[in-house]
Amino acid sequence: MDKTYQPHAIENKHYERWEREGRFKPQGGTDPFCIVIPPPNVTGTLHMGHAFQDTIMDTLIRFHRMRGNNTLWQHGTDHAGIATQMVVERQLNAAGTSRRELGREAFVDKVWEWKAQSGGRINDQLRRMGASVDWSRERFTMDEGLSAAVREVFVRLYEEGLIYRGKRLVNWDPVLHTALSDLEVLSEDESGHLWHFRYPVEGTDQHLVVATTRPETMLGDTAVAVHPDDARYAALVGKQVRLPIVDRLIPIVADDYVDPEFGTGCVKITPAHDFNDYEIGQRHDLPMINVLTPDAKITDDMPKAFAGLDRFDARKAIVAQFDTLGLLDKTEPHSLKVPRGDRSGAVVEPYLTDQWYVRIEPLAKPAIEAVESGRIRFVPENWSKTYFDWMYNIQDWCISRQLWWGHRIPAWYDEAGSVYVGRDEQAVRDTHGLGPEVTLHQDEDVLDTWFSSALWPFSTLGWPDATPELKVFYPTSVLVTGFDIIFFWVARMIMFGLKFAGDVPFREVYIHGLIRDQDGQKMSKSKGNVLDPLDLIDGIDLQSLVDKRTTGLMQPHLAPRIEKATRRQFPEGIAEFGTDALRFTFASLATTGRDIRFDLGRIEGYRNFCNKLWNASRFVLSTTEQYDATAHCEHDESVAGRWIRARTHQMITTVARQLGRYRLDLASQAIYEFAWHEFCDWYLELSKATLYDDDASDATKRATQRTLVETLETLLRVLHPFMPFISEEIWQRVGPRAGLSGASICDISWPEDGNPDPQAEADMTWLQALVLGVRQIRGEMDIAPGKALPMLLQHASDSDRTRLTRYQRLLMRMANLESIEVLDAAADLPPCATALHGELKIGVPMAGLIDVDKEIERLTKQLKKSQADLAKTQGKLTNASFVERAPAQVVETEKARAQEHQQTIDQIQSQLSVLTELN
């Protein structure tokens, strides 16, 4: 083995072999465990969020596989309608052509090409992460099977009246030319203006002043509304105003929606371009006048001065016109929510179009009930509140998109415009008796990407066929995902799963946080703060990192700033940390629900941890070369052996328990603590006392070797779900030495729990206390570690004496002692530096070693601490109500504590007086 851990030397070969040997397939058995992967965009690349999520899932999957569950990690990718279409369109534009020039069929071919070309990338990156998905079952949302499931669901919903088509106001993206669901619209505060326009009241010389943020829509106004109780305008309700510019008479209506306090208390009503106005229009039976083209330009039906103008130019022109007419009352600055498409960033228009909708309420009801009843559990629990809030107020889902890439809506129209929904054209013809003479054309629209995603847990398992996989693995065990897609995806899977697969899609939903940069900022290309998981694994030099972050920016002028920040933060570039260190970092940061600041210090620490494991293994392997697991070997009954076994079992139990509650941070912490601070710091050192002892019997040595090998082998198993590569690499060597056959650690099951060993643990605590006492003196007195010291003990109890006889050799080695001498209580201790363990006094003679002043200083510090502790304790004990009301046991503990502190103080004081006399 190399002297230093080299991740690149070990990682890839193991993955290749695991995959080749089919180790990620369900292994059978009665107890299924299944996770469906949140399907990444098929043409996307792995980012930190994926890497984090995949680490969590892979850890859970590997853990359950080792525990003997029939384990499936269902993999697949998503066609990501808008996102993918946009990427390909951009490529076409760069090549000087366009989607429209190509035409639908050729364009879709292009997208398939792009998918073929780039679709493997995300999978290769998953492999680098060590993700043990079942590659043989990989699916794609546009596969024939999944597409059939989509059509099936659509048709069934339609037949039940849960899908309908209608002309309504939708969120229209004038850049992408498609409808969007409410979820795809993000509203942000932006500063704008509130314009006050005067509308002349017909038949009077009065004006009504309306306030608006959207002057250009006045062309489509069909009413002015006031509050019914607003005394100012009560007399005018029922009259009409003459709409300026277009010279149209529109009514003044009264509606509760109007807030009399806001603006002037008069609202212009444009039912075709505002969601609220739409509803008011419905209530008052107002006409709807569309004034915008799909590009959000003013239509040709409008007055010539404005026709063809972009909406923002039209806005200026309208305001100017009002000004000219003397009808602009005033202009105020105003901050408002501007709705923008989440993909295009374009300001979205409420726009009147024909779209397909899912009637969602009947689906939502059982989905709410499923979470309320606990059939689905959110982890952490508080996310269920977010879920409920949304579900209780859920709106019908607009599922049609005016895109070309996606599942085409299975609806056909005849020449008269009648619509027929069916699984395919032939089915439609058969069902409705439409002969070949009837021309049918299929709906041009495709479905929202999330429609197919909503079927993912059952469509990937073969639905609508009653496949064995569906029977075994549905409902799946847990969904691991981010809070940002609870509405987009989680809620819809629950609704559709209950409706079509007959049960909840998963039992638990584990919601993890977002990976942010070291300053808590969201990682984004435009901020130039993105970390690529693969760069953390393989390392990257500074120049390449800078190049990566500054090329292809939407706002190239930010490049210098990004470069500067990058050079400052990574002056040496990024070192190679390896997949295992990255995974362990993610695991250790995976506290429930909280966002994560990714800290390079952490990953470096866990890389070092890998190195520690590596070298501990080198030690174990080199000291057990003669060990033969197949030969008869005594069980190791030494205190060190018993202790490390008990600690091992404790650790196994903790890790399993914490994984069971998705606390990967606590699980990984337990492993780290055990491996480094118990196994390496103590056990390996203790084992040397036996292994390097010429007087130790071969049997004793063999027993120690056995413990070394078995403990390490067990540790590797527990480590494997977190660090699959290094655990496999080392296991290849250690497994056989432990007498285990099997080609891979993947063949080995999760280790059994064991029993605690209070006696061995108590003895070890004693031993450690004595060692630490001497080390502390050594450390604070600056005595070289190599210098062997004499040790004096006083006030030794019988049990101290027994332990001393038993563990003398260990003690001498661990504390590097040259001698141990037990003095009578009455004996005079020579000038010493001292430490205490209960009543037992540990002394290191000062002659030539220890500075009296320094020791006085050291003891004084300890004295102060003990005195402070005593004061605190006594404060409690002198408080009558504490003694009276606190549980007896607590009072007893406190009393004992006071006594101990007093004892310590007495001893230190007497020692101090001895030392002071010396001076």
Report how far residue 823's alpha carbon sits from residue 793's, in angstroms, rounded to the nearest whole number. Answer: 6
Tokens representing 683 are 């056990």
Q: 262, 316, 821, 830: which one contacts RNA (CB under 7 A)? A: 262
| Residue 574 touching RNA (CB under 7 A) | no
- Cα separations in angstroms, 909 against 484, 540, 774, 856: 62, 59, 19, 10
Q: Please report how close the Cβ of residue 182 comes to RNA at its closest, in angstroms.
A: 5
Q: 28, 96, 785, 848: which one contacts RNA (CB under 7 A)? A: 785
Q: Please report how close the Cβ of residue 223 comes to RNA at its closest, in angstroms.
A: 12
Q: Which is nearer to RNA, 179 or 446 (CB)?
A: 179
With beta carbons less than 8 A apart as the criterion, state whether 391 and 491 touch.
Answer: yes
Residues 426-485 that bind RNA (CB under 7 A): 484
Q: Which is nearer to RNA, 33 or 489 (CB)?
A: 489
Q: Which is nearer to RNA, 86 or 616 (CB)?
A: 616
Sole window of 26-34, 95-103, 209-217, 716-724 interacting with RNA (rule: CB under 7 A): 209-217
Q: Other C-beta atoms within 10 Å of 88: how many?
A: 22
With beta carbons less than 8 A apart as the criterion, state whether 771 and 815 touch.
Answer: yes
- Cα separations in angstroms, 141 against 123, 144, 151, 419, 571: 15, 9, 12, 26, 43
Tokens representing 597 are 């600041």
Q: 419, 503, 885, 899: which one contacts RNA (CB under 7 A)? A: 885
User: What residues contact residue 442 under an 8 Å CB cut-off, 6+ apart?
Assistant: 408, 409, 410, 411, 412, 413, 425
Q: 46, 545, 666, 832: which one contacts RNA (CB under 7 A)? A: 666
| Residue 263 touching RNA (CB under 7 A) | yes
Residues 711-740 that bind RNA (CB under 7 A): none
Residues 378-407 that bind RNA (CB under 7 A): 382, 385-386, 389-390, 393
User: What residues contact residue 845 under an 8 Å CB cut-off, 6+ apart?
Assistant: 790, 792, 830, 831, 832
Report how far residue 895's alpha carbon sits from residue 907's, in angstroms, rounded to the nearest whole number. Answer: 18
Tokens representing 315 are 């806005």
User: What residues contact residue 610 under an 8 Å CB cut-off, 6+ apart?
Assistant: 5, 7, 578, 580, 581, 584, 723, 726
| Residue 656 touching RNA (CB under 7 A) | no
Q: Please report how close the Cβ of residue 890 comes to RNA at its closest, in angstroms.
A: 5
Residues 539-568 that bind RNA (CB under 7 A): none
| Residue 669 touching RNA (CB under 7 A) | yes
With beta carbons less than 8 A apart as the criterion, state whether 793 and 840 touch.
Answer: yes
Q: Bridge partners of 200?
A: 207
Which region holds residue 285: left if phi is over 0, alpha if psi is between -120 and 50, else beta?
A: left
| Residue 886 touching RNA (CB under 7 A) | yes
Residue type, 634: E
Q: Which is nearer to RNA, 157 or 621 (CB)?
A: 621
Q: 25, 156, 527, 597: which one contacts RNA (CB under 7 A)? A: 597
Q: 442, 615, 744, 902: which one contacts RNA (CB under 7 A)? A: 615
Q: Which is nearer to RNA, 496 or 683 (CB)?
A: 683
| Residue 903 touching RNA (CB under 7 A) | no
Q: 508, 604, 747, 761: which one contacts RNA (CB under 7 A)? A: 604
| Residue 837 touching RNA (CB under 7 A) | no
Tokens representing 133 are 């998905």
Sole window of 52-60, 89-97, 497-505, 601-609 interacting with RNA (rule: CB under 7 A): 601-609
Sole window of 16-24, 283-291, 611-619, 842-850 interacting with RNA (rule: CB under 7 A): 611-619
Tokens representing 339 are 């709705």
Give the angle 635-637-641 at the CA atoms, nearest 5°: 95
Q: Please report how close the Cβ of residue 199 comes to RNA at its closest, in angstroms.
A: 12
Q: 67, 165, 242, 602: which one contacts RNA (CB under 7 A)? A: 602
Q: 35, 157, 504, 596: which one contacts RNA (CB under 7 A)? A: 596
Q: Which is nearer to RNA, 315 or 607 (CB)?
A: 607
Sole window of 242-250, 497-505, 640-648, 675-683 interacting with RNA (rule: CB under 7 A): 675-683
| Residue 897 touching RNA (CB under 7 A) | yes
Residues 848-877 that bind RNA (CB under 7 A): 861, 869, 872, 876
N-terminal to C-terminal alpha carbon distance within the chain: 55
Select from 363, 354, 357, 448 the least CA-distant residue to 158: 357
Q: Which is nearer to RNA, 122 or 250 (CB)?
A: 250
Residues 803-832 that bind RNA (CB under 7 A): none
Residues 18-47 that bind RNA (CB under 7 A): none
Q: Which is nearer to RNA, 726 or 793 (CB)?
A: 726
Q: 145, 260, 308, 366: which one contacts RNA (CB under 7 A)? A: 260
Q: Bridge partners of 78?
A: 41
* Runs of H (alpha helix) within 70-182: 81-94, 99-102, 104-128, 144-159
| Residue 607 touching RNA (CB under 7 A) | yes
Report how far residue 273's alpha carbon sits from residue 873's, in angstroms, rounded to the nearest whole number. Answer: 73
Using CB atoms within 10 A of its CB, is residue 317 exposed (0-12), middle (13-18) or buried (19+)? middle
Q: Please report how close the Cβ of residue 454 comes to RNA at its closest, in angstroms.
A: 18
Q: Is the peptide bond before 475 cis (omega within 30 degrees of 0)?
A: yes
| Residue 186 touching RNA (CB under 7 A) | yes
| Residue 677 touching RNA (CB under 7 A) | yes
Give the angle 785-786-789 at the CA atoms, nearest 5°: 80
| Residue 276 touching RNA (CB under 7 A) | yes
With beta carbons less than 8 A apart as the criterion, state whether 790 and 815 touch.
Answer: no
Sole window of 84-92, 261-269, 706-714, 803-811 interacting with RNA (rule: CB under 7 A): 261-269
With beta carbons less than 8 A apart as the criterion, state whether 642 and 757 touch.
Answer: yes
| Residue 259 touching RNA (CB under 7 A) | yes
Residues 154-183 that bind RNA (CB under 7 A): 182-183
Residues 616-645 that bind RNA (CB under 7 A): 616, 618-619, 622
Select from 449, 351, 360, 352 the least CA-distant residue to 396: 360
Select from 906, 763, 896, 919 the least CA-distant residue to 834: 906
Q: Which is nearer to RNA, 161 or 520 (CB)?
A: 520
Select from 127, 124, 139 the least CA-distant residue to 24: 127
| Residue 890 touching RNA (CB under 7 A) | yes
Select from 422, 508, 526, 532 the least CA-distant residue to 158: 422
Residues 514-543 that bind RNA (CB under 7 A): 518, 520
| Residue 685 touching RNA (CB under 7 A) | yes
Residues 739-778 that bind RNA (CB under 7 A): 772, 775-776, 778
Report how far residue 806's alpha carbon sits from residue 825's, in angstroms, rounded to the nearest whole number. Answer: 21
Number of shown-chain residues binding RNA (CB under 7 A):
101
Q: Please report how close the Cβ of residue 531 comes to RNA at its closest, in angstroms.
A: 14
Residues 487-506 that bind RNA (CB under 7 A): 487
| Residue 680 touching RNA (CB under 7 A) | yes
Sole window of 236-244, 410-418, 527-535, 669-677 interacting with RNA (rule: CB under 7 A): 669-677
Give the angle 459-37-138 at the CA atoms, nearest 5°: 60
| Residue 676 touching RNA (CB under 7 A) | yes
| Residue 187 touching RNA (CB under 7 A) | yes
Q: Please report how close the Cβ of residue 34 comes to RNA at its closest, in angstroms.
A: 27
Residues 62-121 that bind RNA (CB under 7 A): none
| Residue 333 touching RNA (CB under 7 A) | no
Residues 298-327 that bind RNA (CB under 7 A): none
